[in-house]
């Protein structure tokens, strides 16, 4: 990292001061020991926007933040804060697998096939346990939703798709009279009901019509929001925009009471976000032999014929090629104020790790992510004959409202499949080890597609899996 942070000397001075004896004393960067923060400095947002830092310097700093194994000198740990950023009542162990902190770095989980990617089931997160005072006795679904680690390759394009869709949906809905309507954006339909001028019911998206593409439940708006969440949740590293500068947290410079203030600057969060947004877009790993390539092609046709593409939409088109920070729909506590984090943009078809995003028509781009960014219910009714209910295992709603009399816990975003060939294990919990198992676990809205898949010739079923296996996170452009 090239920039240094003015508050670093202050932080060090604090760390070197004799610390009053507290229950957490052992977790403080102790006086006299040769320990220093893992981060050699912080990123200034002003240096990003003045152009003092190049795109490469910003994203290198972002990567450094993603792979840093934070220590207590950096401010790792949150003795007095929960993973959702509330004040903690009960005493918190330094690390705890369920409620977290449970890991040393983002890359500790997001590591396949390299930093920024997906993760093994051992990296699962017990989502919502972080909201509680430590859940130290159970990983049962009554207390948290176990979720498998996803990869961020291509996520810049995903965020921008959801932003364009949100503007489109909100504009359409705003102009419509009360009643039931179907809105269509990028070819994807969303049913809504308007009453008294406001949207009171919706399918596949919340009634605010903000498409939230992150978390498998579809509850987070932007990479930046997710990053500030994850830094506090997993590592006890507080983003100043979420804590120090946030009226809702009383502008408390040390909300988690670990003796370190301004743990992550606005510029740090921008850099980490931009690094994720510029990661190589997943590609295709095609077999060499002509015969095998034909089978893959056949698989792609069958994938369409049996109806998989009704949700796993092969390509969506972006009107703009640019990734633009910050996201205007960011919630409070995530920078969206352009006086604090001024707009920064890069062309996803020109800049980044590579493979770069594919150019589209008229300044647009093509996103081959195999999703509709919409929530669906893959649960058959318990009373259905031979019900398929593998994906109906969660007990906690995590912001997903009930719909059509069904519990919100049954709704998940159509999973992006562009990295499915090398992001095992599968399913939101990561408890499926093969692609075929994941396909057979589709019930509810996807039951007919699953049954048509099963009814097709064995060779065609195999071809579908062969096709899906070609969708992979491939090597960055500068590697072989």
Residues interacting with ligand HEC, by CB under 6 A? 102-103, 106, 108-110, 123-125, 127, 147-150, 152, 155, 214-216, 223, 226-227, 230-231, 234-235, 272, 276, 303, 306-308, 310-312, 376, 378, 391, 412, 414-415, 417, 420, 423, 426-428, 435, 438-439, 442, 445-446, 449-450, 453, 464, 468
What's the CA dihedral at 145, 146, 147, 149 to 10 degrees? 140
Least distance to ligand HEC from the beta carbon of 321, Å? 20
**CB closer to ligand HEC, 41 vs 108:** 108
Least distance to ligand HEC from the beta carbon of 349, Å? 21
Q: Is the omega angle on the peptide bond into residue 101 within 30 degrees of 0, that is, cis?
A: yes
**CB closer to ligand HEC, 194 vs 415:** 415
293 Ramachandran zone, left/alpha/beta (phi>0; psi -120 to 50) = alpha
What's the CA dihedral at 241, 243, 248, 251 to 10 degrees? -100
> Using CA atoms, how far apart are residues 411 and 427, in angstroms rounded to an integer?
13
Least distance to ligand HEC from the beta carbon of 69, Å? 11
Least distance to ligand HEC from the beta carbon of 205, Å? 14
> Using CA atoms, how far apart are residues 449 and 464, in angstroms rounded to an integer?
12
Residue 197 CA from chain centroid, whole number: 32
**CB closer to ligand HEC, 148 vs 472:** 148
**CB closer to ligand HEC, 194 vs 215:** 215
Task: Provide the 10 A C-beta neighbour count for residue 184.
Answer: 11
**CB closer to ligand HEC, 1 vs 308:** 308
Q: Is the omega angle on the peptide bond into residue 355 within 30 degrees of 0, that is, cis?
A: yes
Least distance to ligand HEC from the beta carbon of 359, Å? 23
**CB closer to ligand HEC, 194 vs 295:** 295
> Using CA atoms, how far apart are residues 295 and 321, in angstroms rounded to an integer?
33
> Using CA atoms, how far apart are residues 236 and 255, in angstroms rounded to an integer?
11
Q: Are 144 and 98 in contact (CB under 8 A)?
A: yes
Token couple for 449: 């597609």
Contacts of 381 (CB under 8 A, 6+ apart): 387
Least distance to ligand HEC from the beta carbon of 289, Å? 23
Residue 368 CA from chain centroid, whole number: 18
**CB closer to ligand HEC, 124 vs 327:** 124
Least distance to ligand HEC from the beta carbon of 97, Å? 9
Q: Are 441 and 451 in contact (CB under 8 A)?
A: no
Least distance to ligand HEC from the beta carbon of 21, Å? 31
**CB closer to ligand HEC, 43 vs 230:** 230
Least distance to ligand HEC from the beta carbon of 47, Å? 21
Q: Are 45 and 97 in contact (CB under 8 A)?
A: no
Least distance to ligand HEC from the beta carbon of 135, Å? 14
Rounded to 5°, angle at Cα 335 from 334 and 339:
160
> Using CA atoms, how far apart are residues 301 and 280, in angstroms rounded to an integer?
26
**CB closer to ligand HEC, 194 vs 428:** 428
Token couple for 398: 């995590």
**CB closer to ligand HEC, 112 vs 194:** 112
Taking alpha carbons only, the member of 424, 412, 414 closest to residue 468 is 424
């Amino acid at each position: 990292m090239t920039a240094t942070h003015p508050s670093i000397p202050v932080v060090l001075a604090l760390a070197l001061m004799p610390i009053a004896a507290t229950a957490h004393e052992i977790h403080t960067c102790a006086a006299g020991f040769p320990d220093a923060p893992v981060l050699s400095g912080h990123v200034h947002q002003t240096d990003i926007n003045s152009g003092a830092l190049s795109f490469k310097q910003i994203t290198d700093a972002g990567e450094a933040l993603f792979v840093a194994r934070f220590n207590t000198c950096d401010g790792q740990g949150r003795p007095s804060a929960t993973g959702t950023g509330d004040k903690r009542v009960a005493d918190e162990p330094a690390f705890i697998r369920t409620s977290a902190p449970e890991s040393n770095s983002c890359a500790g989980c997001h590591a396949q096939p390299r930093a920024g990617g997906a993760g093994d089931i051992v990296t699962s997160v017990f989502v919502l346990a972080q909201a509680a005072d430590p859940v130290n006795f159970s990983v049962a679904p009554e207390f948290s939703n176990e979720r498998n680690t996803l990869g961020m390759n291509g996520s810049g394009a995903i965020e921008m798709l959801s932003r364009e869709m949100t503007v489109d949906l909100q504009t359409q809905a705003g102009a419509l009279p009360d009643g039931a309507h179907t809105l269509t954006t990028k070819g994807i339909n969303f049913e809504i009901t308007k009453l008294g001028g406001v949207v009171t019911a919706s399918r596949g998206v919340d009634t605010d019509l903000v498409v939230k593409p992150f978390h498998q439940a579809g509850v987070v708006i932007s990479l930046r929001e997710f990053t500030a969440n994850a830094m506090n949740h997993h590592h006890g590293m507080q983003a100043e925009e979420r804590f120090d500068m946030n009226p809702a947290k009383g502008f408390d410079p040390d909300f988690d009471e670990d003796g370190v203030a301004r743990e992550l600057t606005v510029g740090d969060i921008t850099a980490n976000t931009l690094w994720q947004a510029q990661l190589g877009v997943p590609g295709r790993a095609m077999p060499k032999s002509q015969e095998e390539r034909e089978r893959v092609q056949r698989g792609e046709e069958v994938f369409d014929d049996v109806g998989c593409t009704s949700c796993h939409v092969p390509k969506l088109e972006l009107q703009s090629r640019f990734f633009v920070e910050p996201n205007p729909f960011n919630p409070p506590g995530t920078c969206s104020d352009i006086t604090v984090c001024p707009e920064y943009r890069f062309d996803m078809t020109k800049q980044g790790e590579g493979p770069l995003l594919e150019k589209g028509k008229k300044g647009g781009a093509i996103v081959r992510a195999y999703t509709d960014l919409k929530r669906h219910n893959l649960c058959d009714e318990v009373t259905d004959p031979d019900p398929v209910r593998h994906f109906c295992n969660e007990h906690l709603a995590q912001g997903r409202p009930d719909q059509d009399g069904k519990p919100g816990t049954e709704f998940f975003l159509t999973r992006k499949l562009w990295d499915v060939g090398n992001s095992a294990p599968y399913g939101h919990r990561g408890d499926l080890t093969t692609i075929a198992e994941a396909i057979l676990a589709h019930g509810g809205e996807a039951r007919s597609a699953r049954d048509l898949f099963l009814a097709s010739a064995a060779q065609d079923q195999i071809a579908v899996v062969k096709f899906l296996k070609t969708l992979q996170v491939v090597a960055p452009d500068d590697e072989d």
